[in-house]
C-alpha cells in the first residue's frame, strides 16, 4: 500500500513537472513520456487518465474560444469567467476524433484539463473540443443524419460521419452498422457540436431500450 | 474495502466525502447549467444547482419522482436514495483516481441501458448508476471515453 502511494506521489510530481516544463517551452517531446504515450490515439485509449488527477492540483476550464494566440487559447467561460489555455507538445486534442491543435477554431467550445501555472494560464493535458454527450430520443432517421431530441424536448440533428460514426446496441461492440437504430429508441450520443450550423457530428451512438 | 480519501473543497462540494462503500457501476457524463452548444438548453437540473464546471453528479434515486424516471430497479439495482446536496466519492475502478461530488440532478436513465457494461483491466461494471459533470468526469478519466467503471463511496 505504501509503495502504491509512493509511486503515485512520484508519478504525480513527474507528470506535473513534465507538463509544466512543456508549457514553458523547455521540452521537445518524442515518443512515450511520463504522461503516457502522447500520440492522441494512445492518450485517449488509455484506461488511465493521462494526467494523474490529484484533485487538489488539476485544473478544469470550459467555455468558447474567443481567440487563438500561438499555442494559447483564450476562452470565455459560460459564467463570465476567462481562461487562458496553454497547449503544449503533451496536450491531447479531441475534436470528433483524436486530432491536432490545428483543428481548433475560434468559436469552438471546449473542456480542458490541466495544471494551473504561476502566470494564470492552464497548461492543458487534454482538451476536448465541441464534445457533447447527450441522452436523446430518436425522432427520425435519414441516410446521413438522425433527428433527435434531448433535455426538455429540444431538437438536435446528429450527422452520420462516414468512417467515423459508430453504434453500440445495448452495450454491445461498436459497429459502423446503424441499420438497427429505430425511431423512439433512447440513445446516448457522443459527438462534436458544429458551431456553424448547430448540428452534432456523431462519434458514437449507444442505443438503449 | 473501505479506504480513506482526501477530498479538497471545490466549487459544488461543501461537505467532506466519506469512504464507506455505497455502490458500483458505470458512470457517464452530462452537461448542465450555463453552457455552449446543445448543452445550453439543459438547465440547472432537478436540484436547480447543476453546473458543468463544478464537481457534481446526477443520482438515479435523488427523489421518488426521480426514481420513477430512472428505474434502476428494472436493471436489478437497489440504489439507495440520496437527495440533492448529498456528497460521494467516485473512484475509477482501475486507476484509483477519485473525485468528490455533490448530487445536483436526477440521472442517469438507468432503465434505458440495462445490462450495459464498461470494463478496464478485464474487470467490468454493469449498469449506469451515476452521471458526472464534465468537471468531475474529467478529473478521473477522459471525456471522449463517454463512460467509466467506478466505485462509489460516501
Taking chain B (154 residues) in consecutive chunks of 10 residues, what is each chunk's mean pLDDT? 38 69 97 90 88 96 97 97 97 96 96 94 96 97 97 97
Q: Sort strands A199-207 and A186-194 into parallel, antiparallel or unpaired.
A: antiparallel
Q: Which residue of A has its CA nearest to B95?
A: A48
Distance in angstroms (rounded) separating the CA atoms of residues A59 and A126: 11
Q: pLDDT digit string (tens) for A7-37? A: 334 444 455 555 555 665 533 332 233 333 3
Q: Which residue of A has its CA nearest to B92?
A: A48
pLDDT (mean) for A139-146: 96
Cβ contact, residue pair B37, A195, below 8 Å: yes
- Is the separation of the CB atoms in A187 and A205 below 8 Å? yes
Q: pLDDT digit string (tens) for A36-80? A: 333 333 334 444 444 444 444 689 999 999 999 999 999 999 999
Q: pLDDT digit string (tens) for A126-138? A: 999 999 999 999 9
Percent residues over pLDDT 70 in chain A: 73
pLDDT of residue A164: 97
Distance in angstroms (rounded) separating the CA atoms of residues B81 and B67: 9
pLDDT of residue B126: 96
N residues, chain B? 154
pLDDT of residue A171: 80
CATH superfamily of domain region A131-207: Nucleic acid-binding proteins (2.40.50.140)
Cβ contact, residue pair B115, A170, below 8 Å: yes
Reported confidence tier of residue A162, pLDDT bands at 50, 70, 90: very high
CA B88 to each of CA A17, A56, B99, B151, B153: distance values in angstroms, whole numbers, following the listed order: 30, 16, 8, 10, 6
B134 contacts chain A (CB < 8 A): yes
B20 contacts chain A (CB < 8 A): no
CATH topology match: A2-129 vs A131-207: yes
N residues, chain A? 209
CA A199 to each of CA A82, A132, A202, B24, B148: distance values in angstroms, whole numbers, following the listed order: 26, 11, 9, 34, 26
User: How close A165 comes to chain B (CA, Å)?
Assistant: 13
Q: Which residues of A touch B143 (CB under 8 A)?
A: 94, 111, 128, 131, 133
Topology of A2-129 in CATH? OB fold (Dihydrolipoamide Acetyltransferase, E2P) (2.40.50)
The set of residues, in sequence order, having a beta carbon less than 8 Å from that of A66 and lying 6+ positions away, is: A74, A75, A76, A106
| CA-closest candidate to residue A63, choices A109, A113, A9 | A109
A50 contacts chain B (CB < 8 A): yes
Indicate the average pLDDT of chain A: 81
Domain spans of chain A?
2-129, 131-207
pLDDT of residue B16: 81
- Delineate the domains of chain B, giving CATH numbers in brackets: 21-153 (2.40.40.10)
Amino acid at each position: 500500500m505504501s509503495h502504491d502511494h509512493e509511486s503515485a506521489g512520484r508519478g504525480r510530481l513527474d507528470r506535473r513537472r513534465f507538463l509544466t516544463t512543456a508549457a514553458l517551452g523547455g521540452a521537445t517531446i518524442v515518443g512515450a513520456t511520463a504522461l503516457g504515450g502522447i500520440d492522441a490515439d494512445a492518450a485517449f485509449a488509455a484506461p488511465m487518465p493521462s494526467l494523474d488527477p490529484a484533485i487538489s492540483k488539476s485544473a478544469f476550464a470550459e467555455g468558447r474560444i474567443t481567440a487563438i494566440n500561438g499555442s494559447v487559447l483564450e476562452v470565455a467561460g459560460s459564467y463570465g469567467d476567462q481562461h487562458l489555455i496553454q497547449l503544449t507538445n503533451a496536450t491531447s486534442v479531441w475534436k470528433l476524433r483524436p486530432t491536432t491543435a490545428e483543428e481548433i477554431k475560434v468559436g469552438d467550445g471546449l473542456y480542458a484539463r490541466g495544471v494551473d501555472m504561476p502566470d494564470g494560464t492552464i497548461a492543458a493535458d487534454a482538451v476536448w473540443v465541441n464534445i457533447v454527450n447527450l441522452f436523446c430520443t430518436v425522432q427520425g432517421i435519414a441516410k446521413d443524419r438522425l433527428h433527435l431530441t434531448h433535455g426538455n424536448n429540444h431538437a438536435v440533428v446528429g450527422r452520420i460521419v462516414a468512417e467515423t460514426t459508430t453504434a453500440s446496441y445495448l452495450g454491445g461492440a461498436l459497429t459502423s452498422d446503424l441499420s438497427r437504430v429505430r425511431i423512439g429508441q433512447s440513445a446516448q450520443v457522443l459527438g462534436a457540436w458544429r458551431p456553424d450550423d448547430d448540428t452534432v457530428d456523431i462519434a458514437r451512438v449507444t442505443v438503449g431500450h | 474495502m473501505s479506504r480513506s480519501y482526501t477530498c479538497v473543497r471545490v466549487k459544488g462540494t461543501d461537505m467532506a466525502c466519506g469512504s464507506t462503500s455505497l455502490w458500483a457501476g458505470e458512470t457517464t457524463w452530462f452537461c448542465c447549467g450555463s453552457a455552449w452548444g446543445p448543452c445550453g438548453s439543459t438547465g440547472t437540473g432537478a436540484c436547480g444547482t447543476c453546473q458543468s464546471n463544478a464537481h457534481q453528479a446526477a443520482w438515479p434515486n435523488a427523489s421518488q419522482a426521480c426514481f420513477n424516471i430512472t428505474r434502476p430497479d428494472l436493471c436489478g439495482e437497489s440504489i439507495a436514495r440520496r437527495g440533492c446536496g448529498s456528497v460521494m466519492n467516485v473512484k475509477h475502478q482501475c486507476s484509483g483516481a477519485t473525485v468528490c461530488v455533490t448530487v445536483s440532478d436526477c440521472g442517469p436513465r438507468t432503465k434505458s441501458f440495462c445490462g450495459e457494461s464498461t470494463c478496464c483491466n478485464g474487470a467490468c461494471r454493469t449498469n449506469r448508476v451515476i452521471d458526472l459533470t464534465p468537471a468531475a468526469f474529467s478529473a478521473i478519466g477522459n471525456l471522449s471515453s463517454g463512460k467509466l467503471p467506478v466505485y462509489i463511496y460516501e
